[in-house]
Amino acid sequence: MPAGDSRPSRADVDLVVVGGGAMGLATAWQAASRGHEVVLVERFEQGHHRGASHGATRNLNLAYDDADYVALAEEARVRWDALADETGTPLLDLVGVVNHGRPAMLRRMRALHAEAGVTSELVDPVDAGERWRGIRFETEVLHVPGSGRIRAADALRALAGAAVAHGARLLWSTPVTGLHVEGPDRVRVVTADAEITARRVVVTAGAWTADVVGRIVRLPRLTVTQEQPAHFAVRDVDAVWPSFNHRPDPDAAAESWWPGVVYGMLTPGEGVKAGWHGTGPVVHPDRRTYRADPEQLDALRRYAREWLPGVDAETADPISCTYTSTDDEDFVLDRVGPVVVGAGFSGHGFKFTPLVGSILVDLVEGGEAPARFRRLGRP
pLDDT tens series, the chain, 379 aa: 344 544 443 448 999 999 999 999 999 999 999 999 999 999 999 999 999 999 999 999 999 999 999 999 999 999 999 999 999 999 999 999 999 999 999 999 999 999 999 999 999 999 999 999 999 999 999 999 999 999 999 999 999 999 999 999 999 999 999 999 999 999 999 998 889 999 999 999 999 999 999 999 999 999 999 999 999 999 989 999 999 999 998 888 889 999 999 999 999 999 999 999 999 999 999 999 999 999 999 999 999 999 999 999 999 999 999 999 999 999 999 999 999 999 999 999 999 999 999 999 999 999 999 999 999 987 7
> Is residue 3 one of the residues assigned to a domain?
no
Residue 186 is classified by DSSP as: E
- Parent domain of 247: 97-145+224-325
pLDDT attached to residue 6: 46
Contact 57, 151 (CB under 8 A): yes
pLDDT attached to residue 378: 73
My answer on whether 164 and 132 are in the same domain is no
pLDDT attached to residue 8: 44
My answer on whether 198 and 291 are in the same domain is no
My answer on whether 135 and 231 are in the same domain is yes
My answer on whether 207 and 228 are in the same domain is no
Contact 219, 359 (CB under 8 A): no
CB count in 10 Å sphere of residue 5: 14
Name the burial class of residue 116, with classes exposed (0-12), middle (13-18) and buried (19+) by CB atoms within 10 angstroms of its CB.
middle
**Residue at 34: amino acid letter:** R
CB count in 10 Å sphere of residue 14: 15
My answer on whether 163 and 243 are in the same domain is no
Alpha helices in the chain (DSSP H): 22-33, 67-87, 103-116, 125-131, 152-165, 209-213, 294-307, 353-364
pLDDT attached to residue 10: 44
Taking CB atoms within 8 Å and a gap of at least 24, the contacts of 64-69 are 64/109, 64/112, 65/105, 65/108, 65/109, 65/112, 66/112, 67/112, 67/115, 67/116, 68/370, 68/372
pLDDT attached to residue 251: 83
Kindly report the backbone phi and psi dihedral angles of residue 173, in degrees, each rounded to the nearest multiple of 5, phi listed first. 50, 45
My answer on whether 122 and 195 are in the same domain is no
Q: What is the CATH number of the domain that holds 338?
A: 3.50.50.60
Q: What is the CATH number of the domain that holds 141?
A: 3.30.9.10
- What pTM, to 2 d.p., does this model score? 0.95
Contact 377, 218 (CB under 8 A): yes
My answer on whether 229 and 318 are in the same domain is yes
Tally of domains within the chain: 2
Q: Which residues pair with 143 in a beta bridge?
A: 98, 121
My answer on whether 43 and 113 are in the same domain is no
My answer on whether 137 and 228 are in the same domain is yes
My answer on whether 249 and 204 are in the same domain is no
Helix (H, G, I), strand (E, B) or coil at 160: helix
CA–CA dist 379, 369 (Å, integer): 21
My answer on whether 306 and 262 are in the same domain is yes
Name which of 305, 231, 318, 238 is nearest 266 in CA terms: 231
CA–CA dist 120, 63 (Å, integer): 9
> Is residue 285 one of the residues assigned to a domain?
yes
